[in-house]
Amino acid sequence: MTGQIRDTNGRRIDYARISVTDRCNFRCVYCMPEDGVSPLTHEDIMRYEDILFLCRALGDLGVRKIRFTGGEPLVRKGFVPFLKEFRASFPGIALSLTTNASLLRRHAYELAQTGLSGLNISLDTLDPEKFRSITRVGDISDVMDGIRAALASGIPNIKTNTVPMRGFNDADLPLILSFAWENGLLPRLIEFMPIDDDVWRRKMFVGEDEILAALSRRFGAWTQLGPDSSSAAHPQGPARYYRDAGGRTVGVIAAVSNHFCQSCNRLRVTASGQLRACLFSRREMPLLGLIRSGDYDGLGRAILEGMSAKPQRWEQERSGALQMSNIGG
């Protein structure tokens, strides 16, 4: 089974985000309800051997970058040894990770040895009280320790992901960006996405235009970078990158107000093995049965069939509760 995944709109799909767990040690307000979510059973979650089987199929279908997410991936036992096995099995696939960094200090050196090509760290505030408020349980000092450990270990291409929320952390953006720039990190600002009404609040939404206007008032004018710019580490990704007169760069992901659907190159697989062609769509293609039965050709056909349903652009679907923690952040 070889080839490339292309959807019905001609978009080449070469990037997969795979959730390794639905569990997280935080309870972030934009990700899940305060009382959390019902965790998957051991039998329902993809085993590491299942994920490797899936990655083999994805690689043969032209996927060239895989990002592992959660929940929080580092809460899953054996995750770092799994990454080492992944790297040995798929040396030609770029490997990256999204984490809240609270457990990063103890794993950073080993993670660096896996050949990570990038690390995304969720960072919505530097204020300890606000951090505990937004995560409900987290300690910002753990995250700071994790970031320092990641930098010291030599992990490349570290980005910070911040979700601006009106009345909560929108005034903190200059401090967060300055922290990132001073430490050699690439900051990105992500619009608050309306995945589900249980966690999304329209009054807290801050769009790209408002974000850029606020940054211009604080730092001066910004120039959008072209897709061939060396500062845009993943120019085919969702972020638009901007640079100010001082050479500082910020990425903005405007998934709601200025969507990037026309260039979307990604697919998602949940921790339970459900293929999602679009983050905002409720349509899923079950893969776990095919994976566990060893039906390699059937798995390839299911992936292609599932991606054929990728919509031309996202539409909000609010039938039932669904949080980012269920999908894979």
Q: For 152-172, write each residue's pLDDT tens digit.
A: 999 999 999 999 999 889 999
Q: What's the domain count of the chain? A: 1
Q: For 258-273, write each residue's pLDDT tens digit.
A: 777 888 899 999 999 9
pLDDT band for position 195 (cuts 50, 70, 90):
low
CA distances from 277 to 68, 163, 254, 305 (A): 16, 23, 19, 10
**pLDDT at residue 174, as a whole number:** 95
Burial of 133 from C-beta contacts in 10 A (0-12 / 13-18 / 19+): middle
Structure tokens at 106: 């103890």
Q: What is the CATH number of the domain that holds 15?
A: 3.20.20.70
pLDDT band for position 236 (cuts 50, 70, 90):
low
How far apart, in whole angstroms, are the C-alpha atoms of residue 167 and residue 183? 27
pLDDT band for position 234 (cuts 50, 70, 90):
very low
**pLDDT at residue 203, as a whole number:** 81
Give φ, ψ of 87 to 5 degrees. -65, -40
Q: What is the mean pLDDT of the chain?
A: 88
Q: For 199-224, write each residue's pLDDT tens digit.
A: 556 788 899 999 999 999 999 999 99
Q: Determine the residue type at 261.
A: C
The better pLDDT of the pair 308, 248 is held by: 248
Nearest CA to 160 out of 209, 126, 127, 133 is that of 126
Q: For 73-84, write each residue's pLDDT tens digit.
A: 999 999 999 999
> What secondary structure, in 3-state letters, does 69-104 show?
ECCCHHHCCCHHHHHHHHHHHCCCCEEEEEECCCCH
pLDDT band for position 232 (cuts 50, 70, 90):
very low
Residue 233 CA from chain centroid, whole number: 15
Residue 294 scores a pLDDT above 80: yes
8 Å CB contact between 105 and 146 = yes
DSSP-assigned states of every residue in 19-70: ES-S--S---TTTS-TT--PPPPTTTSPPHHHHHHHHHHHHHTT--EEEEE-
Q: For 314-327, write each residue's pLDDT tens digit.
A: 665 544 444 444 55
Whose tokens are 């893969």? That residue is 287
Residue ranges making up the domain that contains 26: 5-327
The better pLDDT of the pair 235, 129 is held by: 129
The structure's pTM equals: 0.90
Q: For 37-48, write each residue's pLDDT tens digit.
A: 677 888 899 999
How far apart, in whole angstroms, are the C-alpha atoms of residue 69 and residue 325? 9
The better pLDDT of the pair 24, 317 is held by: 24
**pLDDT at residue 123, as a whole number:** 95
How far apart, in whole angstroms, are the C-alpha atoms of residue 17 and residue 96? 9
**pLDDT at residue 140, as a whole number:** 96
